[in-house]
Structure 1
Amino acid sequence: MRILHTSDWHIGRSFHGHSTLDALRGVLEAMTQQVRDRGVDVVIVAGDVFDSAVPAAGCYTLLSETLRGLADTGAHVIVTSGNHDSSARLGFQSALLRDGIHVVTDPLSIGTPITITDEHGPVHFYGIPYLEPAMVRPLWAGADLRTQQQCVSHATGLIRSDLAVRGGRAVGVAHCFAGAVVPTPGVERDIQQGGLDIVPLSTFDGLDYVALGHIHGGQKLSDNVRYSGAPLHYSFGEGAKPRGSWLVEMDADGFAGAQWLDLPIPRRLVKLTASLEELLTSPDFAGFEDAWVSAQYTDASPQRDPMRRLQQRFAFCATVAHTPGVVREHDGLSYASRVRQAKGDDHDLVDGFLAHVRNGVGATRAESEIVREVIAEHAAAVPAGSAGVVEKAEASA
């Protein structure tokens, strides 16, 4: 039996304000073609099908198109809910789905597998939907279910009890932090308030293969316990991680190996760091014009309208940050101290203010000319004997 393990589609997620539906549609079409070309028997989607508990209409359309396309290849499809999904919305139409498509969202179904047979006999697929302790505690009276670890351990206990009676090979599907996972900062939502609630790998003992979801990068925790990651990049923190899925082989004895299948990347992600002028003109950054760009400019002081200027070269510049290459050592002076040091010179006062808020960079020559003109106009308009700029600043300081 050949199994394609995927997860974390996050249909409906935006990328820095940009829709990802069209890009994800192309990637999922490529995945469907891999299923057809490789003769895959079962496709597993291990949670976080949607990005939101309340998906927009277009998200349902893309899911329906993809499930129909996968089923048309002749493969069975097994989908479980993740922490981003609403199990009710994901599972409401499961009874109406065509043969070969199975959506597992009910925790009470955990001990009942979806059984698919090959030439060696049955393979039992046990789906574990995302288990929120507060929500599932009433379902299993007497069980101590305060953490994700306890919930998943209880679920796998139910699975082992059922498998002991049925016999045969078994595949588990779960959505959680497991083993020595390496999460992507700011990407995977913490599923336990106050810290990661990690499920030990021993929790899945007795299963021939475990298809995990929740981590967005493909990871091999052991030969037969793996994360497939998301099929699309959803943050710059994921940019260096390949996108794809695991093609898992099952023989008469169980897990026989897994092969990574790359998926196309519609638009690559890059982080560029240099001065703003270099980012705008340097040939070193040629070739990134069609990439998603996260720009960090290293000028000593903030520059005018950097996003608009960068997008003139990099149309898909999504973020820009000012990260000075050299940060001045703090001299311990407050702004009030700088006002007192201006010694009656209004120009020095303004220059000191600019240096205070611009990483030590005072007025440029052009700015100094403007400041002097404004001060001169102010002095001409103020009656003799009135307080000047410095005196007013000292009073407010």
Structure 2
Amino acid sequence: MPTPVAGRRRPPAYRAPMLALHTSDWHLGRGLHGHDLLAAQAAFVDHLVEVVRAESVDVVLVAGDVHDRAIPPVRALELFDEALSRLRDAAAHVVVISGNHDAARRLGDKSGLLDQRISIRTNPAAVATPVVLADADGPVRVYPIPYLEPTTAHGLLPDNPGAAADGGQAGSAASPSRPADDPPTEAVGGRSQAATMHRAMRAVRADLARRPGGRAVVLAHAWVTGGAASDSERDISVGGVGNVPAGLFDGITYTALGHLHRPQSITPAVRYSGSPLAFSFSEATDPKQTLLVELGQDGLVGVRGIPVPAQRRLAVLRGTLADLLTAPAYGQHEADFVAAVLTDPVRPLDAMTTLRRRFPHALRLSHEPPPGTAETRSFGERTRGRSDLEIATAFVGHVRGAPSGRERTLLAEALGAARLAEDAA
């Protein structure tokens, strides 16, 4: 069951701001060290719908990487379809962009057939065409900028019509002129990530310059300079060329970013919501959340994190195998996903099998002996007196985890066949 979320309390004369719920990097179909996370991702969808209902959210912003790979498993596709339908039925608009993990054309192939309250934007050519929402304070223009691969997006982005150079104003939303710390395209390396995003934002500002008043929200999937990564992102940059300067978003009411899995603020109005689930043990202590963004008459009112309940926590445990198996302090982690760092002088045999007697959800095992106590015996000395099957089984356990009974049988058959072949030769 989803965790209940307290709704807003409004004084009788209070005029509620527009509420946007910022989320990103669902990575539907992704696992954690071989463990299927789809059930946990389905629980997140339940939670998301509960938040939308409890907080009377007006629009849900999904900042890319809906899926984990270009061809997602069928169950991941079905879960995304279900999420869109349930959020629509909860009376929210939904705006989705493609990330670097999504197949843009596949994600957006049915966008023209969807309910008007659901927008999936994957085409760079449409970055200056906003999704327009409205409340008592006027329009809110959401500019969806999908992940821009410089080599392909450059020729698809709209040409700058020149409106951004006339110094005009776009009401309270943004000035179309280039921010002072925003380098010209040539200064950031031609078709780099920064140059490509610069061109997209020039088109956005040019569109804003033609529209009176209102508030502007940018939805983008990129690595903005100053953002902190975790182990689970697959870097989309080489040598820093993927970094986008935060100054590109100056003057925008709120910028909802995706790509980095840690929730973080680049500026008060430029933020990553982070992924709703941890996809690596480097995120074990990260507070997973969505961001509730309040857009008032004069712009950004505030941003509040809504915690995403963890279906199973992650824990990194360090110690000898004996300590991990017996110390009462580790009892609180028996139901967690566990990454164990063994500090025994010699790596114990079948350590993962033994560890799972107490921690059935142990997923990762590494060996870091204390300095000066590392194994010095040769491989022959360490395996003397052990059968070929014992050596092969220990090797599989060392690199991946203890083999199953069926796998042990296959190993035995393979070793037997190899001996017969040697005898025949």
TM-score (norm: length of structure 1): 0.82
- State the Cα distance separating 1:221 from its structure 2 match: 1.2
Helix, strand or coil: the match of 1:226? strand
CA distance in 2, matches of 1:76, 1:212: 18
CA, structure 1 residues 294+196, in 2 after alignment: closer, same or farther (shift >3 Å)? farther
Helix, strand or coil: the match of 1:124? strand
**Counterpart check, 1:247 vs 2:247:** no
Helix, strand or coil: the match of 2:325? helix
1:319-369 CA distance string (max 9 Å, x none): 01111023349xxxxxxxxxxxxxxxxxxxxxxxx73348xxx88xxx99x
Counterpart position of 2:99: 82
Counterpart position of 2:229: 183
Counterpart position of 1:348: none
CA distance in 2, matches of 1:276, 1:326: 17
Helix, strand or coil: the match of 2:377? helix
What fraction of aligned residue pairs are identical, expressed as a percent?
A: 40
Whether the 8 Å contact between 2:339 and 2:365 is mirrored in structure 1 is yes
Counterpart position of 1:303: 348
Whether the 8 Å contact between 1:125 and 1:171 is mirrored in structure 2 is yes
CA distance in 2, matches of 1:287, 1:146: 51
**Counterpart check, 1:21 vs 2:38:** yes
Whether the 8 Å contact between 2:24 and 2:62 is mirrored in structure 1 is yes
Whether the 8 Å contact between 1:233 and 1:243 is mirrored in structure 2 is yes
**Counterpart check, 1:275 vs 2:292:** no
Whether the 8 Å contact between 1:190 and 1:196 is mirrored in structure 2 is no
Counterpart position of 1:153: 198
CA distance in 2, matches of 1:87, 1:170: 24
Counterpart pick for 2:377 among 346, 356, 365: 356
**Counterpart check, 1:130 vs 2:143:** no
Pairing of 1:31-46 with structure 2 (within 5 A): 31-46=48-63
Whether the 8 Å contact between 2:129 and 2:143 is mirrored in structure 1 is yes
Give the aligned residue type for 1:237.
S
Whether the 8 Å contact between 1:160 and 1:206 is mirrored in structure 2 is no
CA distance in 1, matches of 2:43, 2:156: 40
Counterpart position of 1:390: none
Counterpart pick for 1:294 among 319, 336, 339: 339
CA distance in 2, matches of 1:187, 1:357: 35
- State the Cα distance separating 1:290 from its structure 2 match: 0.6
CA distance in 2, matches of 1:227, 1:208: 15
Counterpart position of 1:325: 370
CA distance in 1, matches of 2:243, 2:249: 13
Counterpart pick for 2:73 among 27, 49, 56: 56
**Counterpart check, 1:236 vs 2:281:** yes
Larger radius of gyration: 1
CA distance in 2, matches of 1:247, 1:133: 31
1:227-251 CA distance string (max 9 Å, x none): 0000011110001001111100011
Counterpart pick for 2:263 among 193, 199, 218: 218
- Unmatched tracts of structure 1, length 5 or more: 330-353, 372-397
1:98-140 CA distance string (max 9 Å, x none): 2200001000000110000111111100000000011112225
Counterpart position of 1:105: 122
Counterpart position of 2:412: none
Whether the 8 Å contact between 2:352 and 2:365 is mirrored in structure 1 is yes
Whether the 8 Å contact between 1:248 and 1:259 is mirrored in structure 2 is yes
CA distance in 1, matches of 2:365, 2:126: 47
Whether the 8 Å contact between 2:66 and 2:98 is mirrored in structure 1 is yes
CA distance in 2, matches of 1:328, 1:292: 29
1:365-393 CA distance string (max 9 Å, x none): xx99x69xxxxxxxxxxxxxxxxxxxxxx
- In the alignment of these two chains, the number of paired residues is 339
Whether the 8 Å contact between 2:192 and 2:241 is mirrored in structure 1 is no
Whether the 8 Å contact between 1:271 and 1:295 is mirrored in structure 2 is yes
- State the Cα distance separating 1:199 from its structure 2 match: 1.0
- State the Cα distance separating 1:262 from its structure 2 match: 0.5
CA, structure 1 residues 357+254, in 2 after alignment: closer, same or farther (shift >3 Å)? farther
CA distance in 1, matches of 2:105, 2:60: 22
TM-score (norm: length of structure 2): 0.76
CA distance in 1, matches of 2:216, 2:378: 63
Helix, strand or coil: the match of 1:155? helix
- State the Cα distance separating 1:196 from its structure 2 match: 5.4
| RMSD, aligned CA | 2.0
Whether the 8 Å contact between 1:75 and 1:100 is mirrored in structure 2 is yes
Counterpart pick for 1:170 among 216, 228, 232: 216
Helix, strand or coil: the match of 1:312? coil
Give the aligned residue type for 1:107.
P
